[in-house]
Structure 1
Amino acid sequence: MTSTFAAWLGFLLFAGTMTYAGVKDVATMTISNRLVAVLTIAYAVFAPAAGLGLEAILSSVLVASGVLACTFAFFALGWIGGGDAKLLPVATLWLGAELALPFLVYVAAIGAALTVALLQFRRVPLPIVLKKHAWSNRLHARDAGVPYGAAMAPAALLLAPESHWFPALLQI
């Protein structure tokens, strides 16, 4: 029963934090280090408590480490922001090694759609109702980046029910 409770708490924490990260990235174009640290520490606490086996945890850590190496290279090349470079591997950690590739594909597809939408949005004048908001001005700026947290969040939420967390939730 304890592992089911821990699985529910972990699942809800992950889903809520990813949602918050996506919204916050759209609003501020930042993903805080504190948020990434909370998710990382929470995984270390909740994964064993939820009954995830050592093999599942280690394979998730290994794959997430590989993703981290790639995202830091992308950050160094200026292709992605620092928050994105940290959030992607920690989300991969939570979803597990078996969902890493589908997660990256979903992020790429949602991110591509988001990028096209932002490029189109930036071609037209900003509506008056949006001009008074800092977040919309930031998103509308032609030299602004793309808030990829807004692509990572729905990708993570779409795959979360297929993750190793979900079977533990069904042990009620």
Structure 2
Amino acid sequence: MISTSAAWLAFFLFAGMMTYAGIKDVATMTISNRLVVALLASFAVLAPAAGTDIATISSSIFVASGVLACTFVLFSLGWIGGGDAKLLPVAVLWVGPELSLQFVLYASVIGAALTLALLQFRKMPLPVILEKNAWSRRLHAPETGIPYGAAMAPAALLLLPESHWFSALL
């Protein structure tokens, strides 16, 4: 009974926190360290409680560590933001090693579409109704980056039903 309850909690917690990260990234162009730490701590508590086997937990940690090394390099080159560099490996930790490549691919495709849309949006004058909002002015500014948390969130949500979290619910 506890493993099913923990799996449900993990399922909705991860979905909610990733959705929050995506929305917050669009609104503020930041992904908070607290959110990343909360996701990490929640995984550490909920994965064993949900009955996730040690092999899956270990391989998830291994793959997420590799992704962290890659995102650290991308961040140091200035290609991605610090929040994105931390959120991506933690999200990989949650989706698991079997879906990690698919997750990165989905996030990349969604991120590319988001980038193209923002580039087009930034070529147009900002609509008057949006000029009052700091977040829309920031998003419209050409010098502002791309909020890739907004791409990672839907990628995670698309794959969550295929993850070990969902199979623990069945």
TM-score interval (norm. to shorter): over 0.9
Query: Which blocks of at least 5 consecutive residues in structure 1 are unaligned?
Result: none
Q: Are 1:19 and 2:19 an aligned pair?
A: yes
Post-superposition Cα deviations, 1:108-163, rounded to whole Å, max 9, x if no partner, equal 00000000000000000000000000000000000100000000000000000000
After TM superposition, give the deviation of residue 20 of structure 1 in Å: 0.2
Displaced runs of 4+ in structure 1, greater than 4 A?
Answer: none
Aligned length: 170
CA distance in 1, matches of 2:102, 2:10: 21
Percent sequence identity over matched residues?
Answer: 72
The match for 1:143 is 143
Please provide the CA RMSD for this pair: 0.3
One-letter code aligned to 2:9: L
| Correspondence for 1:9 | 9
Q: 1:54 maps to what in 2? A: 54
SS in 2 for 1:7: helix
1:168 paired residue number: 168
Letter paired with 2:27: A
Local SS of the residue matching 2:98: helix
The secondary structure found in structure 1 opposite 2:79 is coil
Q: Which amino acid aligns with 1:42?
A: S
Q: Which residue of 2 aligns with 1:37?
A: 37
Residue equivalent to 1:87: 87
Q: State the one-letter code of the partner of 2:151.
A: A
Task: Give, in whole Å, the separation in 1 of the partners of 2:143 and 2:168.
Answer: 45
TM-score scaled by length of structure 1: 0.98
Q: Name the amino acid aligned to 2:33.
A: N
Which AA in structure 1 matches 2:8?
W
The Cα shift of 1:167 comes to 1.0
Q: Please state how far the C-alpha of 1:169 moved relative to its aligned partner.
A: 1.1
Whether 1:106 and 2:89 are equivalent positions in the alignment is: no
Which amino acid is the alignment partner of residue 166 of structure 1? F
**Alpha-carbon separation, structure 1, partners of 2:57 and 2:78:** 31
* C-alpha separation in 1, matches of 2:164 and 2:10: 11
Partner of 1:119: 119
C-alpha distance in structure 1 between counterparts of 2:167 and 2:129, whole Å: 46
TM-score by length of 2: 1.00
Q: What is the letter of the counterpart of residue 29 of structure 1?
A: M
